[in-house]
Amino acid sequence: MELNENARVDTSQVEDRRGSGGGGGMGIPIPIGGGRGGIVGMIIAVLVALVGGGFGLNAATNGGGSDQGDNTSLEQKCSAQDALEQLDCRNTLYVNSIQAYWRTAMPEVFGEQYKPSKTVFFSQNVSTGCGAADSGVGPFYCPADDLVYIDLTFYRLLADQLGAQGEFAQPYVLAHEYGHHVQDLLGTEAQMRRQQQRDPQSANTLSVKLELQADCYAGAWAKNATGTSDEQGQKIFKSITDQDIQQAIDTAEKIGDDAIQQRSGRPVNPDEFTHGTSEQRKQWFTKGFSTGDPKACDTFGGTL
C-alpha cells in the first residue's frame, strides 16, 4: 500500500481527545493487559463491543457538543511534510478515504445521503453517548452520538496479542466501524435491535449478521479505495496490493469468535458468537472486496 504524499489530511473528520483527560483526570486508567485475565477480557471485549453492544443503551450523560477536542496541534502535525509517517495522520487519512467512498457510494447504491461521522482518538478512557468506555473495549461505533472511537494503541495489541500484523489492518478496522455508521444511517442497526427484542434467543445470531455486514462493507471500501480522493481531488492511495488485502483478510480471520475463544483457552461455543467465525469474517470481507458492491452484503438475507 502506498499513500499519496500529496493528499491533504482532513483533520476536521477526527476529534483528538487524547490527553484531554476524558475523565477529567479523576478516573483511574484501566491498564491494558494488566494480567492474564485482563488480556483475555480485553480481547473478548474488543470484538463484543465493536458496535457498542457492550454498553448500556441509555447513557448517563451525553457530553454533547461541549466535549470538542482541540485539533490545532493535530492539524499542524498532519499538514507537515512527513505527516504520513505519523500513525494518527495516516489514520485520519484512512477515515477521509472511507468517508469519501461512502459519500459517493451511499446515494448510488442505497439512494440515501451519506452523513459524515467523526472518529474520536482517545487514550485510556472516554465518555461517549453510549456511556463511559476504556481502551479495553477496543475500537467501537456509538449509534447514540454517531461517532467512531479508537485508542490508537489498539493496533499494537492487534499485532502483538492477536498476531494481526501489517498496516492494512488499520484501515480495515476503521472501515468496519464506518460500516456500522452506514448501518445506523440506513436503519439496519435499529431494525436489528428491534428484532433482537422480539426474539431474544436469536440476539447473537442477529449480532453476527450485523458484524459480518460491516466486514463486507469494509471489503467494498477496500475495492474502491484507490478511487477515493481528498477535497482537492488528489488521490488518497497510490496503490493497494494483493498483500494489503491479504492483511485485511488475515485480520478478519484473527478476530473471528472461534479464534478468540481458542486463544483465550476457552472451549469454542457457537452460542456465544457475536461477530462470526474466522471463516465467516474472511468470507464476507472477501465478498465485499470481490464485488465492490455494498448491495452484495445482505447478510440478513431479507430477514430483517
- Residues of this chain that interact with Zn ion (CB under 5 A) are 50-51, 211, 214
Nearest to 274 by CA among 45, 1, 31, 27: 45
What are 76's three cell numbers?
499542524
- Dist. CA 154–CA 255, nearest whole Å: 13
- Could you tell me the smallest distance in angstroms from the CB atom of residue 19 to Zn ion? 27
59 vs 214 by CB, closer to Zn ion: 214
122 vs 237 by CB, closer to Zn ion: 122
- Could you tell me the smallest distance in angstroms from the CB atom of residue 214 to Zn ion? 5
Q: Is 110 exposed, middle or buried (0-12, 13-18, 19+ CB in 10 A)?
A: middle
51 vs 59 by CB, closer to Zn ion: 51
- Could you tell me the smallest distance in angstroms from the CB atom of residue 9 to Zn ion? 25
- Dist. CA 264–CA 258, nearest whole Å: 10
Q: Which residue lies nearest Zn ion, judged by its C-beta?
A: 50
- Dist. CA 80–CA 255, nearest whole Å: 35
- Could you tell me the smallest distance in angstroms from the CB atom of residue 300 to Zn ion? 15
51 vs 74 by CB, closer to Zn ion: 51
214 vs 236 by CB, closer to Zn ion: 214
**Cell 487519512 sits at which residue?**
93
| C-alpha radius of gyration, the chain, whole number | 18
- Could you tell me the smallest distance in angstroms from the CB atom of residue 281 to Zn ion? 10
User: With contact defined as beta carbons under 8 Å apart, do 69 and 147 qualify?
Assistant: no
